[in-house]
């Protein structure tokens, strides 16, 4: 499966589509870190707000391959499921790269001193949660699932806005708890709610990925 992931990554990077989420990432990082602030709070906001960039990157990677090439890759890989999982793995890999930039760049250019290891670990963990949600959302809005570009963009951005707004409601802690994790960080209570936030986020990400796998069975 690794050669197929490599093929998808090569096609994506050579197509220059990677530039779009990279530019969006740089713009958002410039806004987040335009004024000084505590490292953990900055990381928390960054991880939550970059979900849309991660989703965009996942969608654009999965959209890069022509539909007929996916059919060729399925037979070459020996199994359609391998092609679908390789696409998700390639999208996840790209998003890990983007998340690494989002974590490391402020260390180099913004934070005066290295944050405490605990805060750094929390920042990394929150970005990983963002990568999981973003990859799942991007996959569900990708061309193999939604062939209309207009519909897929509405699902991508609408889905993210809906997640943000629903996370403000009383049941927000059980959905993808984006706003609760930003609020908890700002009020210094992240550690208290982190297990619940991580569990809910991973659960919904897994549900999104399972839905994507299921839908791709008849949408090669």
Partner 1 sequence: MRLSKVSFRYSRRGPWVLRELDLTLAPGTVIEVTGKNGAGKSTLLRLLAGIVPPSRGTVSQRPRVVGYAPDVFPVGQPFTVTAYLTHMAEIRGISPDAIARLAERLEATHLLGQPLGDLSKGSAQKVGLIQSLLAPPDLLILDEPFAGLDAHTRGELPAMIGEIAAKGGTVVVSDHQNQLENFPGADHWLVAGGTVTTQQGERPKQVVIEVLVDAAEADEVEQKLQADGYTTRRTP
Residues of this chain that interact with partner 1 (CB under 8 A) are 3-4, 6-7, 10-11, 14-15, 65-69, 71-80, 217-218, 220
In whole angstroms, how close is the CB of 99 to partner 1 at the nearest point?
Answer: 25
Residue closer to partner 1 by CB (options 70, 122) is 70
In whole angstroms, how close is the CB of 101 to partner 1 at the nearest point?
Answer: 23
Nearest to 39 by CA among 97, 96, 98, 112: 112
In whole angstroms, how close is the CB of 79 to partner 1 at the nearest point?
Answer: 7
In whole angstroms, how close is the CB of 155 to partner 1 at the nearest point?
Answer: 18
Residue closer to partner 1 by CB (options 45, 65) is 65
- Distant-in-sequence, close-in-space partners of 45: CB < 8 Å, separation ≥ 6: 32, 182, 185
In whole angstroms, how close is the CB of 215 to partner 1 at the nearest point?
Answer: 10
Residue closer to partner 1 by CB (options 74, 103) is 74
Residue closer to partner 1 by CB (options 57, 77) is 77
**Is residue 212 within 8 Å of residue 139, measured between CB atoms?**
yes
Residue closer to partner 1 by CB (options 16, 117) is 16
In whole angstroms, how close is the CB of 74 to partner 1 at the nearest point?
Answer: 5
Residue closer to partner 1 by CB (options 189, 217) is 217
């Amino acid at each position: 499966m690794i050669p197929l992931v490599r093929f998808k990554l090569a096609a994506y990077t050579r197509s220059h589509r990677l530039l779009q989420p990279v530019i969006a990432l740089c713009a958002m990082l410039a806004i987040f870190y335009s004024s000084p602030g505590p490292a953990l709070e900055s990381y928390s906001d960054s991880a939550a707000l970059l979900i849309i960039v991660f989703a965009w990157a996942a969608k654009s990677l999965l959209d890069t391959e022509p539909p007929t090439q996916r059919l060729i890759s399925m037979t070459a890989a020996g199994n359609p499921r391998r092609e679908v999982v390789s696409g998700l793995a390639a999208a996840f890999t790209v998003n890990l790269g983007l998340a690494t930039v989002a974590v490391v760049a402020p260390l180099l250019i913004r934070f005066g001193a290295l944050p405490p290891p605990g805060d750094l670990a929390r920042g990394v963990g929150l970005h990983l949660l963002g990568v999981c949600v973003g990859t799942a959302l991007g996959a569900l809005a990708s061309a193999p699932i939604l062939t209309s570009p207009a519909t897929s963009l509405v699902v991508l951005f609408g889905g993210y806005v809906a997640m943000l707004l629903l996370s403000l409601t009383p049941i927000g802690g059980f959905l993808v708890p984006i706003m609760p994790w930003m609020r908890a960080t700002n009020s210094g209570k992240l550690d208290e709610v982190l297990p619940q936030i991580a569990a809910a986020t991973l659960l919904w990400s897994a549900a999104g990925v399972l839905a994507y796998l299921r839908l791709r069975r008849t949408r090669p």
